Every structure is written in C-alpha cells, then in structure tokens.
C-alpha cells in the first residue's frame, strides 16, 4: 500500500472502504485542536462504500498564539486579534500552505490524480485550505471550507492561479459563530464568486462547531464531487 509522504508528526491517515484508495481527502483541524478532531466523523458521512478513500488529517505545529496571551498551542498560523486583518499571518500561512501542497504532491506521486483530491478544513484549517487551493497549480476535485474565511482576500485576485476556478467549493458557517463571525465567511464567498469560483454557501443555526445535519450534507457533497 502506498503511503502519504512528508506528514507532520502526529498526523493521522486512515482508509475508508475496501481496496487501494485512488481518492484522497486532506482535512485540517482548527486552532488548539489536534489531528484527532475529525476522524470520528468519517463513519457518519454516509460515503459510498464501494469507493475507497484515503483520509489525511495533518497535525498543526505548536506555536505561540498572540490573541491567547502567547500561549503555545497547535496552530497553522498566529492570530493577533479579532479583526480580519489581525487573523492574517503571512509567514505562518506560507509555511502551512507549503505543508498542504506537499501532501497534495505526495498523493499525486503515489498515483492519486489531483482531480481526485479534496482539501478540507475547519476554522484555521479552512483558511489554509482556501489560501492553498486558489494558489495551487493542481486541479483539485473540491474544497471544503467550514466556519472559516479567505485570508489575504485583497491579494487573492493578483495571486490566485485560476486553476481551481471551476472546482466545487462548499462553504458552511454558523449563524451564531462568536469566533469567526458569519460576515467574514460570507464576504469571503462573495469575493471568490466575483473571481468566478464555484462556491456553494450554507449557514446553520450553530456557533463555532460542526453539527450532525451538516455532516450528512458534507457526505452527500463528497459523494457528488467524487462521482463527477
């Protein structure tokens, strides 16, 4: 069985279904969480059992987070404050984006075409997924952006590769989110749509979290993307 290369320490890889996967979902957790955050929902997604999928759950490095008093915790980048501008850390984002690109390229090298790869993320992880997907030269199968925002939004037009303009993007957000206000997510979606990206936007009556109704709809979306 092929192995995903160059994963951060304590990352998790699991296979869904029988046989050698030719489809991959790379799913990034949020600030302060771990790679263990999302594997438990895989059996709840209702995925097509006849299609084996490799799930890759990378682990963010521990770093000081300014908004939390410099406390060291797992994070894909630093956050200095609550405003959108203060949620942007170019150095950390560049490092995490390079990590995600490395995993994508590793999957491609192992025989999974980019067109069979979904990048997904919650909160900070979703921001990394957004940032990477619009700049990537790999034509991805889809992008899943949960309770998140598009970082460096004002620079996206100049920096996006255009390769994934037709790639399906599913963006979910909680209407009562106190961590990443829903308006941040909506403005990001509007910005991407103005550039021609294919974004499906939906809100749920929840805070900064994932709920069962949403998990089922994510699974339906994954099945649809991989059926194309």
Catalytic residues: 123, 177, 208
- The neighbour count for residue 225, using CB atoms within 10 Å, is 20
Distance CA 127, CA 150 (A): 6
Q: Is 140 helix (H, G, I), strand (E, B) or coil?
A: coil
* Contact by Cβ (8 Å): 141, 117: yes
* Contact by Cβ (8 Å): 23, 53: yes
* Contact by Cβ (8 Å): 120, 28: yes
């Amino acid at each position: 069985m092929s192995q995903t290369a160059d994963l951060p320490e304590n990352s998790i890889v699991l296979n869904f279904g029988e046989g050698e996967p030719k489809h991959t979902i790379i799913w990034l957790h949020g600030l302060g969480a771990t790679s263990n955050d999302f594997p438990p929902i895989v059996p709840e997604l209702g995925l097509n059992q006849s299609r084996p999928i490799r799930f890759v759950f990378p682990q963010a490095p521990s770093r000081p987070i300014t908004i939390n008093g410099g406390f060291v915790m797992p994070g894909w980048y630093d956050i200095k404050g609550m405003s959108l501008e203060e949620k942007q850390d170019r150095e950390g984002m560049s490092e995490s984006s390079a990590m995600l690109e490395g995993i994508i390229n590793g999957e491609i090298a192992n025989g999974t075409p980019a067109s069979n790869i979904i990048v997904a993320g919650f909160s900070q992880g979703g921001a990394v997924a957004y940032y990477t997907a619009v700049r990537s030269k790999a034509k991805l199968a889809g992008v899943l952006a949960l309770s998140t925002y598009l970082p460096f939004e004002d620079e996206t037009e100049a920096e996006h590769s255009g390769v994934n303009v037709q790639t399906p993007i599913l963006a979910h957000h909680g209407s009562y989110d106190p961590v990443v206000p829903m308006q941040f997510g909506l403005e990001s979606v509007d910005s991407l749509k103005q550039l021609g990206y294919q974004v499906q936007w939906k809100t749920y009556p929840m805070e900064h979290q994932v709920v069962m109704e949403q998990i089922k709809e994510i699974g339906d979306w994954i099945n649809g993307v991989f059926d194309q």
